[in-house]
Amino acid sequence: MIERACASALLRRFACELVGDAPPAPDLAAHSAADREAARLAWAARIVDEYRSVAVFSELLRLLADLEAPLPVLCAVQRLIGDELRHTELTAQVVDWLGGADDLAIDLGDIGLPAPEPGEHPASRARRIVGRELVVAEEESIYVLAAYRDAAREPAICAVLATLLADEVRHAAAGRAILAALGGADAELCAEMAADRERLRALYRDAACSGPGRALGACIERADLDAMWARSAPRALGTALR
C-alpha cells in the first residue's frame, strides 16, 4: 500500500490541491459489524482498482507524449491520472471510516499492464489502451457505479460513489474523443473491445450476488444491474442519474 502521508508540507499541498479536503467521517455505528466488515474489504479492493488506472493511464500518457499527440489529448490524459489518484485517496478514506486497513496487505506493486507484445507499435499500444481501458472499461463501470450508488443508503458513501460516477462518465467520453483523435479503432481492436465488454458484463453480473454491506456500497443484486443496463446509454445514464 502506498504511503498517504508525507513529511514535506510542499508535497502535502500538491496532494491537498488534487484530492481536496477530506469529507468528515460519518458515524457508521448503526450498521452491523458484518456489514461494516464486508464494506471495508470491498472498498479496500476498490483502492486497488483505482490505483491500477493510475498506472495504466500513466503508461498511456508516456506513449502519447512520445508520439507527439495533440496538447488537448495529453492534457485530458494527465487529468484522468489525477482523477484516478483522487479516487485512490477517496476509496482509502472510506476504508478508514470502516475501520482502517492495518490488518490488510494491499499490494499495489507492479500493477500496470504487462509489457507490450514483441513488435507492437507504440501507436497501436496507445489505441488499445484507450479503446479497452477508457472506452470499454470506464463506460462499463458507469452502469455498475450507478447501481451501487442507488443501492447504498449511507449518505457519505453515496456521495463518494457519486463522485466516482461523475468522473467515470467524463473519462468514458474523453476515451471516445481520444480514440477518434488517434485515428479510431481498426477491425482487430473493435473485436477486442467487444470481447472485453462481454467479459466485463459477465464479471459484473457474477459479482452482483447480494450479501452484507449493501447500504455501505459493498454489494448489489443482479436485478439492480439489469435495471441499469436496460435504462440508457452510459452518457445519458451518468447525466440523468447525477
Partner 1 sequence: MSFHLALAFLLWRALSEQPEQPPPRPRPMTRAGTHWKGERTEPRVVKR
Asked if 35 interacts with partner 1 (CB under 8 A), we say: no
Reading phi first (left if > 0) and then psi (alpha if -120 to 50, else beta), residue 136 is in alpha
Contact between 103 and partner 1 (CB under 8 A)?
Answer: yes
Q: Is 218 in the site for partner 1 (CB under 8 A)?
A: yes
Contact between 89 and partner 1 (CB under 8 A)?
no
Answer whether 168's CB lies under 8 Å from 145's CB: yes
CB 210 within 8 Å of CB 148: no
What is the three-class DSSP state of 70? coil
Q: Which amino acid is at 167?
A: D
C-beta of 75: minimal distance to partner 1 in Å?
23
- Closer to partner 1 by Cβ: residue 12 or 121: 121
Q: How far is CA 41 from the centre of its chain?
A: 16
Span of 20-28, 72-80, 161-169, 173-181 interacting with partner 1 by CB under 8 A: 161-169
What is the Cα–Cα distance from 194 to 212, expressed in whole angstroms? 32
What are 81's three cell numbers? 491520472
How many residues form the binding site for partner 1 (CB under 8 A)?
49
Residue from 83, 168, 185, 238 touching partner 1 (CB under 8 A): that is 168
Out of 207, 229, 231, 232, which residue is the one contacting partner 1 (CB under 8 A)?
207
* Least distance from partner 1 to the Cβ atom of residue 135, Å: 10
Question: By C-alpha distance, which of 184, 153, 164 is closest to 242?
Answer: 164
Q: What angle do CA 233, 236, 242 make, to 5 degrees?
A: 130
In the DSSP assignment, the letter for residue 99 is T
Work out the angle between the directed axes of helices 33-66 and 71-97 (0-180°, nearest 10). 160
Q: Choose one: 7-15, 67-75, 212-220, 226-234; the region binding partner 1 (CB under 8 A).
A: 212-220
Tell me how far, at minimum, the Cβ of 150 lies from partner 1, in Å: 12
Of 66-74, 175-183, 192-200, 222-230, the window that binds partner 1 (rule: CB under 8 A) is: 192-200
Q: Give me the residues that bind partner 1 (CB under 8 A), please.
A: 41-42, 44-50, 52-53, 56, 103-108, 110-111, 113-115, 117, 132-133, 136-138, 140-141, 144-145, 148, 161, 164, 168, 196, 199-200, 203-204, 206-207, 209, 211, 218-220
